[in-house]
Amino acid sequence: MNSFMIKKLIFKDWYFNRYIMLAYLVGGLVALAVMFSGGTTAFTIGSILLVTAIVSLGCHLVLGTVVQERTNQTLPFVMSLPVSVQDYTAAKLFANFTVFLVPWLLLSVFLLSIMSSSQIASGGAVPIFTLMLFWMVITYLIMLGTALVSESEGWTIVAMAVCNTAFTLVFMGLNAIDGIGGALLNQPDVVWTGASLSVLAAEIALIVLILGLTFYFQSRKTDFL
């Protein structure tokens, strides 16, 4: 693994995406402001805006760097440099993951700390919100992996559609579990139960698995162009 070139490619992708990262961070902060401006309606609208911001960031990144690199035919340019398929994949995954994670992390931290604070006292909803935030990371990685491996705009968009539909279903599913959702949501205190912790562990495992699978399938390609 060629760490010199991998770093170069990561910095390049960060440089290309600098405005996107900023724009969505700002959008997310606006959504947070709406969420806590007062009343349940504002909260609901704000949360929808927040989810939209984070999910759109993911879609924008995937279509913007990965798929575009193929349609704009800049892939041969990158592959003519002293890099292997593994180097390219590692750099793409890392760069795109971090570009997503930075706004996501900031927004998540803001959201969860506001929720846990005494003024808002929605601590009970923190576990389920955390799990949904992690689900958004999983969604993003599924889209990213699909884009890299399938090299197809069509399949990537299918993945996006499926993941986004699944979002509501996953929330409903988690809400139905006693230790995670339901009555727990109205409590002011943050309580992590065995159920919520095991789901979190499963999500983290899933993240690692998706990264590994993406890497594996990329390495097996014999026709990189």
Partner 1 sequence: MTAATMQGVKKTYKHFTLDDISLELPVGQIMGLIGPNGAGKSTTIRILMGLVHQDAGEVRVFGHRMPEGEVAAKADIGYVSEDMRLYGGQTLKWHMGFIASIFPGWDQAYAEDLLRRFDLTAEQKIKGMSHGQRVKASLLLVLARMPRLLILDEPTTGLDPVARQEVLAALMDVLADEDRTILFSSHNTQDVEQLSDSITFIDRGKVIASDDKESFLDRWRRIRLEVPNGTRVPTIAGQETMQISGHISVVTTSNFSEASARAYEASGARIMAVEHMTLEEIFLSNVSASRGRALQ
The residue ranges that bind partner 1 (CB under 8 A) are 2, 5, 8, 12, 16, 72-74, 76-77, 79-84, 87, 222-225
Residues 193, 180 contacting (CB under 8 angstroms): yes
End-to-end alpha-carbon separation of the chain, Å?
21
Nearest CB to partner 1, comparing residues 39 and 82? 82
Q: Which is nearer to partner 1, 44 or 74 (CB)?
A: 74
Please say which residue, 64 or 179, places its beta carbon nearer to partner 1: 64
Q: To the nearest whole angstrom, how small is the minimum distance from the Cβ of residue 193 to partner 1?
A: 48
Nearer to partner 1, 17 or 122 (CB): 17
Find the length of the chain.
Answer: 225
Centroid of chain to Cα 105: 10
Closest CB 128 distance from partner 1, rounded Å:
40
Rounded to an integer, what distance in angstroms lies between the CA atom of residue 156 and that of residue 142? 9
Cβ 87 to partner 1 shortest distance, Å: 7
Residue whose tokens read 């409590």: 187
Q: State in angstroms the smallest separation of the CB of 153 from partner 1.
A: 17
The angle, 0 to 180 degrees and rounded to 10, between the axes of the packed helices 126-150 and 153-176 is 160
Measured CA to CA, the distance from residue 41 to residue 185 in angstroms comes to: 16
